[in-house]
Amino acid sequence: MNISTRFAVAIHILALLEINKGDKNTSEWIAGSVGTNPVVIRRITSMLGKAGLIEVRPGVAGAKLARAAGEITLLDIYLAVDAVGQDSLFAVHDHPNPDCPVGQNIAGAILPVFSLAQQAMEDVLRKVTLEQIASQIPV
Amino acid sequence: MNISTRFAVAIHILALLEINKGDKNTSEWIAGSVGTNPVVIRRITSMLGKAGLIEVRPGVAGAKLARAAGEITLLDIYLAVDAVGQDSLFAVHDHPNPDCPVGQNIAGAILPVFSLAQQAMEDVLRKVTLEQIASQIPV
DNA sequence: CCAACTTGTAACTACGTTAGTTACAGGTTG
DNA sequence: CAACCTGTAACTAACGTAGTTACAAGTTGG
């Protein structure tokens, strides 16, 4: 299993908004760069808007960053598009047998490790800003 | 999206084998502790066997660890059960527009970060052994 | 040697998530 | 007011997971 392309597409969209400042970045135009359908873009910009990362208004073409690219981290984007859902990155089976010592204690033994592993991944994303990504794209 | 319970169930199975050394750990018995169907267990023990983590033989009840619990890491198990598939943990959209500077360069800009994030997560799993998990389960 | 048991695996179902699509309501603007 | 946009519902197809039944093939004790 892997994390949905929503996350990568969201980064793509925000990088576009940063680089094409001032132009009219309609969902149709963005879709042309991403290689998908405008509705897919609008679904994601809607999530980014609700998370406060961009400003979008119904009826008004385009969108723009709500704050500087240097102050938007990949973790912000990851959270905005619900990249791993509300659950943990790691799923644990629901009904271990409480009458078995292992069944009773396995969740308690592995959940802390799972949590640390997920945090380590998210910490990497927290340290990278949209500006750092955009700076790698030639104008 | 999250990592399949196969991973957590595999850890559960191996912890059982470590703790119930000597007993006959049939797939049916293990299924009782995990709270699932014996076939689900056999599917996973088959993967663990192919990865060389346990010894199983058709027709012979039970399974046992192929090496000491202190020498089996959670990363070994994670890889054995194909927890994130053969692809990266993070998916990237397939058809960005090569005629757009962003479309052309976005993958190159984000893949290294995705790779680092995945590695950070896997490094945590590498540092935890099955023995450490099993030691948290009272006998 | 055979009856009882086991593993390995195919095949099927049900479910949830994703991505793509069409359609349309409602906001905006020249 | 006409032309354009966003937001979102609804539907489809594809894919992975988990659970299940069924059965072939291996093993073992009496």
Question: A90 in helix, strand or coil?
Answer: strand
DSSP A102-137: HHHHHHHHHHHHHHHHHHHHHHHHHT-BHHHHHTTS
> What is the residue whose two structure tokens read 């397939």?
B94
| Interatomic CA–C1' length for residue A40 and nucleotide C22, angstroms | 13
| Interatomic CA–C1' length for residue B56 and nucleotide C5, angstroms | 16
In a domain, B27, yes or no: yes
Interface contact flag, A117 B125, Cβ < 8 Å? yes
Tell me what pLDDT residue B108 has. Answer: 94
Helices (H), B1-139: 5-19, 27-34, 38-50, 74-80, 101-126, 130-134
Query: Please, which pLDDT band fits residue B4 given cuts at 50, 70 and 90?
Result: confident
Task: Verify if strand C has an atom below 7 Å from the CB of B108.
Answer: no
CB < 8 Å to B12, chain A? 93, 96, 102-103, 106
Tell me what pLDDT residue A26 has. Answer: 93
Question: A101 in helix, strand or coil?
Answer: helix
| Contact by Cβ (8 Å): A46, B129 | no
Tell me what pLDDT residue A55 has. Answer: 93
Tell me what pLDDT residue B2 has. Answer: 82
Interface of A with B in 35-94 (CB under 8 A): 35-36, 74, 83-85, 87-94
Tell me what pLDDT residue A24 has. Answer: 75
Counting Cα atoms < 13 Å in the Cβ hemisphere of B96 gives: 20
Looking up residue A117, the CATH number of its domain turns out to be 1.10.10.10
Q: Is A138 on the interface with B (CB under 8 A)?
A: yes
Residues of A from 111 to 130 whose C-beta is within 7 A of strand D: which are they? none
In a domain, B112, yes or no: yes
pLDDT digits (tens, 9 = 90+) for A44-93: 999 999 999 999 988 788 899 999 999 999 999 999 999 997 678 999 99
Interface contact flag, B91 A121, Cβ < 8 Å? no
Task: Verify if strand C has an atom below 7 Å from the CB of A85.
Answer: yes
State both tokens at B132: 């450490």
In a domain, A139, yes or no: no
Interface contact flag, B113 A136, Cβ < 8 Å? no
Q: Which domain holds residue A35?
A: 5-134
Task: Verify if strand C has an atom below 7 Å from the CB of A86.
Answer: no
In a domain, B139, yes or no: no
| Contact by Cβ (8 Å): B16, B30 | yes
In a domain, A45, yes or no: yes
Taking CA–CA distances from A117, the nearest residue in chain B reads B121
Domain count, chain B: 1
Spatial separation of the C-alpha atoms in residues B94 and B12, rounded to whole Å: 36
pLDDT digits (tens, 9 = 90+) for B117-135: 999 999 999 999 999 999 9
